[in-house]
Chains A and B, each alone.
Chain A
Amino acid sequence: MSNLKKKPELEPVCLEGHRLKTRRDFLSHGFISMSAFTWMPGVLSLISSNSAMAQAADCPVPAVNTKTPVIIFDLAGGANIPGSNVMAGGAGGQMDFLTDYKSLGLPADMHPSRTGMVDTSLGLAFHSDSPILRGIQSVTNNTVQNKIDGALFAASSSDDTANNALNPSYWINRAGAQGGLSQIAGTRDSESGGRSIAPMSSINPSLRPVQLNRPQDALGLVNIGKLGELFNDNKAQRILKAIERMSEEKIMSFNQQTLPDQIKDLVKCGYIGSQDLIGRYSADAIDASLDPQVTQAFDNLSNGDQRKTATIAKLVLDGHIGVGVVEKGGYDYHNKTRRTGEVRDFQAGELIGRVMQLAALKQKNVMIYVITDGGVVAREEIDNTADGRGKYVWSGDSGQRSSAFMLLYRHAGRATLRNGIRQIGHYKASGGVENTATPASNSSTNLAKLITANYLALHGEEGMLTQVVGDNPFGANLNNYLVFNKID
C-alpha cells in the first residue's frame, strides 16, 4: 500500500455508480485473478485439506467485441476474382490496365479501357458488369455504397484443394476481433470454419470455430433443452455447477505428464463457460430470425445461403462472435459456360451486400474478406445466353489467376486510403499473378498475415503484427502493403 501513496499512477480509481456484484465483475476488475488466486486457495485450505476445488482456472471473460467485426467469405472451388470482377492491373495499380483480359474472361469490347467499363462506386474499382458488384448493388442503397471501400490482393493459390492456408480467422481473433458467445464461428465443421485451412501456426484448438448454419444452431449454444423443461434457471445452473465440480475432480486427478496444467485449465474453462453460455443470452439476443434488422437485410431466411449468412452476420455484428466464416460452394464453375459463374458470383455479391446493409442498419463497421481456393481461366468463346452476358466461357482451373479482396464498410464514412492504392501486388500481361511482387503474392500464409496486418492497421495496431502472427515477413515494406488509415 505504501507504493500507492508514492506513485500517483497507482492511485485507486473508484468506479462511480458501478457496483461489483458478479463473478464476471470481479474478474473484469482483476480482483479474482489477484485476490482469489492468492487468497482463496489459502483460505479454503484452512477449512479443508482438499484445495483442488479452489484452484480456479484463469478462463477468458466473455466480452462483446469492440473492434471491427470481420466476416470471411470462402468461395469454395476457385472463383474468378481479378478482371471480370475486381479490376486488376499491372505494377501501376488497378487502373494500370493489362493489354487484354481474355484469360480473365473479358472480350475486347469489355476491356476496362473502354468507356463505362469500370465502376468505382464502392471505391475499389470493379468491372462495371462484375456479377459480384451487381449483386452488392442489388441489395444496398447509395448511402451504404458510398461508405464502402476495399482492396485487391494479387495472390496465387492452388486449385481445388482445401490446403491453401488462406483463412486468417485465428490471427484476426488474436488481433482483437473477439466475442462473448464464441471467438470464431463458421458454416463448415472444420478448424477454419470454412473450406480453406487456417495457417498451421495460427490454430489454437481451444478456439475452434463453432458451426452455425441456421438461427437454431445459435440458440442451441445457449438453451438447455430438456433440462430447461424440467427445472427453473437456478436449478439448471445448479446442475451445471455440479457437473463442473465433479469434472474438475476428475481432471485434477490426472498427473502433469498425462494432462498438462494448461490443458487442464482449458477443459475446466469449457465446463465453467457452459454456465456462462446458458446464463447470459436470451433467444431474442441471438436468434437472427427474431431480429427485425436482419429480416430487413435478408429477405428470405428459408434460402440456405441467406439463412447461414444472416445467422453468422447477426452474431458477428452484434459482437457476440469475433470472426465469422461463411463458406459458399459451387465455385469450381469452369464448365465451358459463362452463365454458371456469373450466377454464382452474383449470389456471392448479394450475400456480401446484405451483410453490408445489415451493418448499416446496426450502425456498425464491418470488414468483409473474400477468399477462394485457386481460380479460373477463360477461353475465347462467347456465352451469349442471358446469364452469360456475352463474356468468355470459363474453361479450366488457374490458380495463377486467383486473388483475394477485402471490403470495408465504415458507418461514419468511407475509410481513407493510407497510400492511395487499392491493389497490393500486381498482374502480368498474361493475366496471371506476378508471384514475386510481394511476399504474399505466392504464399497463402503470408497473405493471411498481410490481411491480419491490414486489420491491425484499422485500429492503429499494425506495429503488433509480429506479436500476433509470430513474425513480419514484409519487413520495412509493411506500410506499403497496408490499405487504410486507422478508422476509429
Chain B
Amino acid sequence: MKTQHRIIGVVISLTFMLFSFNHCVIKQETASKSKTGTSNSTSSSSEPTANLPDPIVDITPEPEPTPMEMPPDPVIIQSQTIDIGVKNFEQINETMAVLTGVDPMTNAIRNTYRDLEVQLPTDNSIKSFLAANQVAITKLAAEYCDQLVNSGTLRAQVWPGLDFGRSPAQELSNNTQRFNIIDQTMNRFWGEQMGGSRNASQLELFSLMSDLLSGENLNSNNTTRTTMKGICTATLSSAQVILL
C-alpha cells in the first residue's frame, strides 16, 4: 500500500509539472516584487521595442523599469567562515601524480599542466572555485588517466585483476566484475573509509560505466581501456580528491 501511495503521488506531481511547463510565463507584476537573480536578461530600459508587435496587452501607460539584476552581495560571501579548502594547481598536480603513479614530468602531463596552470585554482580558497577550474582539473585528470591506463605496470597496481588485453564482453560483462573494478578505483583514489556517500558514488560510477560502454564495440580491448580512462577521470577529478 505504501508503495502504491508513493506511485500515485509521483504521478500527480509529474502531471502538475507537465501542466505548468506550458511555454507561458507570468508577466512580472511590479519592479519591487521581481526576483533578484544573476542573469542580465532584463535591462532597466523602459522604452518600447520599435517595430515589433507587442504580444502583451499593456494597460499601464508608463511601465515601471525592471530592476537591474546583479550577482550576490560580495559582503555576504566574504563574511562566511569555512573550514574546507580546495587544492591549488601544484597540489592538484602532485596529488594526481601520487595517486596514479604517473611521473608528472612525462611530456604529455608536463605540457598539459603548463597549458592549464593559469586555469587551475591559484589558491586554497574554496570561495573562488570556478567552473573554469573544474574544466582544467578534469583535463589534467584525463591526461593522468590516459598515461595510467596505457602503462601496463601502473594499471596493474590500481586494477590488479583487470586484464586490459581482453574485451568488455570478457572483463566487464557482469555486475560483480564492474563493482569490483569500481571499488578498486575508489579505494585507490579516495581511500577505503568514505562514509555514507560511498554507495551513491558506487552507483554513479556503475551507471557511468554502462553509459560509456553503450554503443561501443564490446569485443574490443580498446573499449576496455577507453572506458577505464573515463571511470578513472571521473573519480580522479571529483571533489573527494580536490578538496582539502
Partner of A220, one of B10, B25, B115, B212: B115
Nearest B residue to A461, CB-CB: B44
A38-50 CB mask vs B (1 if < 8 Å, else 0) is 0100110011001
Instruction: Contacts A10-B27, A10-B29, A243-B138 given; indicate if A47 touches B72 (C-beta within 8 A).
Output: no
The answer to whether A176 and B83 have CB atoms under 8 Å apart is no
Q: Which residues 257-282 in A have Cβ within 8 Å of B in the complex? A: 257-260, 262-263, 266-267, 269-274, 276-278
Residue of B nearest to A322 (CB): B40
Q: Which of A22-30, A93-101, A357-365 contacts B (4 or more CB under 8 A)?
A: A22-30
**Chain A 169-185: CB-based contact to B (< 8 A → 1; otherwise 0):** 01001111010001100
- List chain A residues, Cβ under 8 A from B29: 7, 9-10
A247 interface residue per 8 A CB criterion: yes
A173-B71, A459-B45, A460-B44 known; A250 vs B239 contact (CB < 8 Å) = yes
Checking B17, B20, B68, B201 against A249 with a beta-carbon cut-off of 8 angstroms, the contacting residue is B201
* B6 in contact with A276 (CB, 8 Å): no
Most buried by A among B74, B82, B127: B74
Q: Is B134 an interface residue (CB 8 A)?
A: yes
Within 8 A of A (CB), among B17-36: 17, 20-27, 29-30, 35
CB within 8 A of A253: which of B13, B21, B197?
B197
Interface string of B55-92 (1 = CB under 8 A from A): 11101100000001011101111101011100000000
Contact B23 A28 (CB under 8 A): no
In the complex, the chain A residue whose C-beta lies closest to that of B122 is: A189
- Picked from B35, B80, B119, the residue with its CB within 8 Å of the CB of A262 is B80
Residues on A with C-beta less than 8 A from B126 are 259, 263, 266-267
Q: Which residue of B lies closest to A208 (CB)?
A: B128
The stretch of B93-101, B156-164, B229-237 in contact with A is B229-237
How many Å lie between the Cα of A52 and that of B52 in the bound state? 45
B234 and A239 contacting across the interface, CB-CB below 8 Å: yes
A-chain residues with CB within 8 Å of residue B139 when the two chains form the complex: 220, 224-227
A453 CB to nearest chain B CB (Å): 13
Measured CA separation A206–B128 after assembly (Å): 4
> Are the CB atoms of A46 and B240 closer together than 8 Å?
no
Q: Mark A215-255, 1 if CB is under 8 A from B, else 0.
A: 01100111011110011000100111011011111111110
Cα separation A468 to B36 with both chains bound (whole Å)? 13
Q: How far is the CB of B54 from chain A (nearest CB, A)?
A: 10
Q: Which residues of A contact B37 (CB under 8 A)?
A: 33, 58, 60-61
B184 to chain A, nearest CB (A): 16
Return the CB mask of B183-194 against A: 1 if under 8 Å, else 0. 000000000000
Judge if B153 is at the interface, Cβ distance under 8 Å.
Answer: no
On whether the beta carbons of B17 and A207 are closer than 8 Å, the reply is no
**Cα-based distance from A35 to B128 in the complex (angstroms):** 29
Is there a chain B Cβ closer than 8 Å to A299's Cβ? no
Which residue of chain B has its CB nearest to the CB of A231?
A: B230
Tell me if A225 and B142 are in contact (CB < 8 A): yes
Chain A residue at smallest Cβ distance from B74: A204
Asked, given contacts A11-B27, A246-B234, whether A468 binds B70 with beta carbons under 8 Å apart, the answer is: yes
Q: How far is the CB of B94 from chain A (nearest CB, A)?
A: 19
User: Which residue of the partner chain B has the closest CB to A203?
Assistant: B74
**Cβ A247 vs Cβ B238 within 8 A:** yes
The distance in angstroms between the C-alpha atoms of A14 and B56, with both chains bound, is 9
With known contacts A20-B21, A262-B76, A246–B71 Cβ distance under 8 A: no
B35 and A251 within 8 A (CB): no
From known contacts A9-B29, A60-B39, infer whether A277 and B6 are also in contact, taking CB-CB under 8 Å.
Answer: no
Interface hit among A63-71, A144-152, A337-345, A412-420: A63-71
The answer to whether B43 and A249 touch across the interface, beta carbons within 8 angstroms, is no
Closest partner residue, chain B, to A201 (CB atom):
B75
Chain A residues, Cβ within 8 Å of B13: 39, 42-43, 46
Interface status of A205 (Cβ within 8 A of chain B): yes
Residues from chain A with a CB closer than 8 A to the CB of B132 are: 182, 210, 221, 274, 277
- The answer to whether A14 touches B127 (Cβ under 8 A) is no
A12 adjacent to chain B (CB < 8 Å): yes
CB A77 to nearest CB in B, in angstroms, measures: 23
Distance in angstroms from B76 CB to nearest chain A CB is: 7
**Alpha-carbon separation in the docked complex, A11 to B59 (Å):** 12
A253 touches B74 (CB 8 A): no
Any A CB within 8 A of the CB of B221: no
Interchain nearest-CB distance for A242 vs B (Å)? 4
Q: Assuming the A-B contacts A11-B27, A60-B39, A66-B40, are A246 and B239 also in contact, with contact meaning beta carbons closer than 8 angstroms in the complex?
A: yes
Q: Mark out the residues of chain A between 181 and 216 whose CB falls within 8 Å of any chain B CB in the assembled complex.
A: 182-183, 189, 201-208, 210-211, 213, 216
Contact flag A31-B122 (CB < 8 Å), given A176-B70, A253-B196: no
A425 to B142, CA, bound (A): 55
Known: A39-B13, A250-B239. A15 touches B24 (CB 8 A): yes
Interfacial chain B residues near A173, Cβ < 8 Å: 71
Task: Tell me the smallest distance from the CB of B87 to a CB of chain A, in Å.
Answer: 13
A476 at the interface (CB under 8 A from B): no
A227–B208 Cα distance when bound, in Å, is 14
Interface status of B136 (Cβ within 8 A of chain A): yes
Asked if B43 and A267 make an inter-chain contact with CB atoms under 8 angstroms apart, the answer reads no
- B171-204 vs A, CB cutoff 8 Å, 1 = contact: the mask equals 0000000000000000000000001110011001
B9, A46: Cβ atoms under 8 Å?
A: yes
Q: Determine the chain B residues whose CB is within 8 A of the CB of A387 once the complex forms.
A: none
> Any chain A CB within 8 A of the CB of B131?
yes
- Chain B nearest CB: distance from A84 CB in Å? 35
- Chain B nearest Cβ from A186, distance in angstroms: 11
Smallest CB separation, B78 vs chain A (Å): 7
Residue A16 interfacial (CB < 8 Å): yes
**Which residues of A have CB within 8 Å of B169?**
none
A488 within 8 A of B: yes
Q: For B146, what are the chain A residues with a Cβ–Cβ distance below 8 Å? A: 226, 230
B23 touches A19 (CB 8 A): yes
CB A231 to nearest CB in B, in angstroms, measures 6
- Chain B residues, CB < 8 A from A182: 130, 132
Query: Contact: A16 with B43, CB < 8 Å?
Result: no
Which B residues are CB-close (under 8 A) to A29?
25
Q: How far is the CB of B171 from chain A (nearest CB, A)?
A: 18
Question: CB of A475 within 8 A of chain B?
Answer: no
- Tell me which residues across on chain A come within 8 A of B204, comparing CB atoms: 242, 245-246, 249
Q: Which of B199-244 contact A (CB under 8 A)?
A: 200-201, 204-205, 207-208, 211-212, 226, 229-230, 233-235, 237-240, 242-243
User: Can you offer 7 A-B residue contacts whose CB atoms are under 8 A?
Assistant: A189-B122, A204-B78, A251-B239, A262-B80, A270-B130, A274-B132, A459-B43
The 6 closest A-B pairs by CB, nearest first: A273-B131, A247-B239, A205-B127, A204-B74, A60-B38, A225-B139
